Amino acid sequence: MFNKPKVQLNEYLKLKYLLNDKSIEKKISVENIKAYWKHNNSTDIDKLLQYSEQNKQYVNMDKIDSLEKKVFLSLITIMSLMFIIGLSMGFSLLSHDDTSRVNVTSFFFIMIIIPFLFSTVSFFYSIKSKTNLSKWIEENIFMPISKILLNSSTIMPNDVVKSIVFVKFQQGSLALLTGTILALFMTLLAKYVIFGWESTIIDTSSLQSFINFISFPWIFCCPNAVPSLEVIQDSHYYLSSNIIDLEALKSNTALSDSWWKFLGMSLIIYGFIPRFILLYLSNKIYHNALVDNILNDKNANEILLLIDNISHVTTTELVNEEHKTKEDNNSIFETNKKTIPHSLDYIIGWSHTKEILELILKHKNITASHIEIAGGNVPIDKEDALIASIEGSIMIFVDSWEPPQKDFINFVSSILKNKDNSISIYPIGMADDNYKPESKNISIWKNKISTINSSNIGIYNV
């Protein structure tokens, strides 16, 4: 889920092609959006790769295939070339002359020290930023090489080409080393090899301390891969001396044993291991170069923005109005509190059926000269007729839990147009609650009635 994105050359080329071909319409379909949604935490690279996967039909694959083929072919060519070079160099160095005497020192310097230094330097060159020297190297060595290898393509910018070439370099030198090692073992397998050394400036003891220094990494685990002072002394002048007792040498196995083991160990420790590390690092640099190159692409950023905008989900439109603070209606008008008048002219059940109203009245033990219903399903003309004829003191039963609506307010307002009329509202609760209303609902009614602003209407305080 959290893996660092790694871009393959093929993916990179496809994406680059898509990003740079202006003729391709940047379209993101619903299906694409759904795919983007799958991973909340997908990185920009993930998104871009997905984009290129979704639009791959627009990519000219021939062009990319041929470019890829070129990179691959150059890899094969370099590898096999270097391998052959390594092999032949190994053979030639191991066969000092036809008596199969080997010059350890020159083998060591040519096959181990020089390549080691070379790859280390080139590695630092690749990570170090621009200096005059590196510019010169780039222009005169890398670019010509890459032109030959990759036929300078417009899609691939210099730093990517450079990192590709660099990877090839590391792969090549690994191939070279493999060749050398193979040569060493083949020689050892097929021939009796005499190892010897000679030098004008190095004497036996300094060579020994040098060898000890070199073989430090394995001196404890395989001591017989470290030539002893005797061995070094014995093999001095073997190269030039003509009076070698071959039979005596052959019986002294320690002599050649420790030399070839030493050379083999050196090849592994100073050849293979650093090369593998460098190959790994250069691969990393190469992949990073691909990623960086994509992320720095102006068109890629445009696409990313487009993807983000187009796949972004909003559930509402944010209005920037301040949440209004609730004004307290209670304080505006004081609602009259009514008690039940001694004589009632009218009792009206608002939005009740006649039967229910009678039930309520029986329960409350209240009665009046006229008992009517209004609201609810009562036809409008009947309601209007009631308004026209009604007078005196009126009590209206309402269901407290149903909020008062405009039709009710209009109804009581019309009645109150006759100044002699007075209304008290009797909010009742549900039958389940023994008609006892909740105080919360009462205050809703109170507030609403207070907006009528008349002293002739009040609420019966239960």
Partner 1 sequence: MYDNYPSFVLVGHPNKGKSSIVSTLAYDDSVEVSDIPGETKKTKYHPLKVGDKILYKIYDTPGFENAKRALSWLEKNETTSREHSKILKRFVEENKKSSEFKEEIELLNPIVDGGAIIYVVDGSTPYKEEYEAEMRILSWSGNPSMAIINKIGNKDYTNGWKNALNQHFKIVREFNPMNAKLDEKLKLLDAFSAMNQDWESSIDYAKEALIHNNDKMFYNTAKMIEENIRKSITYTVTSSLIKTDITDKDKINYEEQYKKDLIRFEKNNQKNVQTIWGHNRLDSSMEKFKFSDELFSGDFSKDGLIKKSFIIVSSVASASLAGATGFAFSAPTSFLDFGATTTLTTTLSTVGGAVVGFTTSAIGYNKFINSTTIGKIFSKKRFQVGPMKNYNFIFILSARAIQHAVAISTRSHAKRDNMNLNTNENSAENLFDDTEKKELAKISVNFRKDKNIKKSTEKYIEIIMKKIKII
DSSP secondary structure of 406-433? HHHHHHHHHHHTSTT-EEEEEEE--GGG
Q: According to CB under 8 A, which residues from 321 to 360 bind partner 1?
A: 321, 323-324, 326, 329, 351, 353
Residue type (1 letter), 314: T
Q: In what order do the strands lie in the sheet with 422-428?
A: 336-338, 457-460, 422-428, 393-399, 346-350, 370-374
Nearer to partner 1, 230 or 358 (CB): 358
Minimal distance, residue 435 CB to partner 1, in Å? 13
Give residue for tokens 């009581």.
412
d(CA 192, CA 24): 68
**Given candidates 132, 247, 319, 342, which one binds partner 1 under the rule CB under 8 A?**
319
* β-bridge partners, 459: 337, 425
Minimal distance, residue 406 CB to partner 1, in Å? 4
d(CA 375, CA 442): 19
d(CA 168, CA 176): 12
Nearer to partner 1, 252 or 330 (CB): 330
Span of 153-161, 235-243, 364-372, 374-382 interacting with partner 1 by CB under 8 A: 374-382
Nearest to 9 by CA among 79, 55, 65, 48: 65
Span of 63-71, 201-209, 265-273, 307-315 interacting with partner 1 by CB under 8 A: 307-315
190 binds partner 1 (CB under 8 A): no
Size of the residue set binding partner 1 (CB under 8 A): 45
CB-based burial label for 339 (10 Å; 0-12, 13-18, 19+): exposed
For the window 420-439, what string marks contact with partner 1 as x by the rule CB under 8 A? ----------x-x-------
**Given candidates 129, 315, 331, 343, which one binds partner 1 under the rule CB under 8 A?**
315
Minimal distance, residue 428 CB to partner 1, in Å? 13
For residues 402-436, b (16+ Cβ closer than 10 Å) or e, as one string?
Answer: eebeeebeebbebbbeeeebbbbbbbbbeeeeebe
Q: According to CB under 8 A, which residues from 15 to 34 bind partner 1?
A: 30, 33-34
Nearer to partner 1, 234 or 399 (CB): 399
Are 282 and 274 in contact by the 8 Å Cβ rule? The answer is no
- Using left for φ > 0, alpha for ψ between -120 and 50, and beta otherwise, residue 453 falls in left
Minimal distance, residue 430 CB to partner 1, in Å? 7
Minimal distance, residue 376 CB to partner 1, in Å? 4
Q: According to CB under 8 A, which residues from 31 to 90 bind partner 1?
A: 33-34, 37, 40-41
Report the interface residues with partner 1, using CB under 8 A: 1-2, 30, 33-34, 37, 40-41, 309-319, 321, 323-324, 326, 329, 351, 353, 375-377, 380, 399, 401-407, 410, 430, 432, 440, 444, 447-448
